[in-house]
Amino acid sequence: MTVVKINAITVPPDSGDELARRFAARAGAVDNQDGFEGFELLQPTDGRSTWLVVTRWRDEESFEAWRTSPAFGQGHGHGGGHPHGGGHPHGEGHPHGEGHPHAEGHDGAASGGQPRPVAVSSELWSYRISGGSPC
């Protein structure tokens, strides 16, 4: 049964474009993962500062396999899959641990050469599809 993972990412008003740019630079990076069904980055249009990263997975096991894989770790700012590691491109405290596109500071990087996070905070929401219209 399809599961939906929504990462609600709060960014400062001037950082949304950078977040979108970093996601665009990683377009397709997860497309070939077993169980991956789709992805959208949703930009707020009503003055909110929370962007939504919506992914769909065949099942919870597929999502967890991706989240703990070396491919996830390499694509998210560290060398391997870390279930609760740092370096998420959105910011600190990312609930499923790792990073996507990081924001850059005036020198483009935080200590250690890693780009600075774009987000102020993020949280992971988990859903299953219980109804809707056919595609």
What pLDDT is attached to residue 75? 65
Structure tokens at 122: 């993020």
As a whole-number percent, the residues of the chain with pLDDT over 90 amount to 41
The predicted-structure confidence for 26-45, as pLDDT tens digits, reads as follows 888 889 999 999 999 999 99
Backbone torsions φ then ψ of 40, nearest 5 degrees:
-140, 145
C-alpha to C-alpha distance for 28 and 121, rounded to whole angstroms: 24
Which is more confidently placed, 84 or 9?
9
Mean pLDDT of the region 62-68: 93
- Ordered DSSP codes for 35-78: TEEEEEEE--SSS--EEEEEEEESSHHHHHHHHTSHHHHHHTTS
Mean pLDDT of the region 14-26: 90
Structure tokens at 10: 């709060």
Residue 85 has pLDDT above 60, yes or no: no
Mean pLDDT of the region 110-125: 75
C-alpha to C-alpha distance for 60 and 71, rounded to whole angstroms: 18
- Facing residues of 7 across strands? 53, 124
pTM: 0.70
DSSP code at position 9: E
Report the chain's mean pLDDT, rounded to a whole number. 76
Q: What share of the chain is helix, strand, coil (3-state, %, to 5)?
A: 20, 25, 55
- AA letter at 109: A
Which is more confidently placed, 61 or 101?
61
Terminal-to-terminal C-alpha distance of the chain: 16
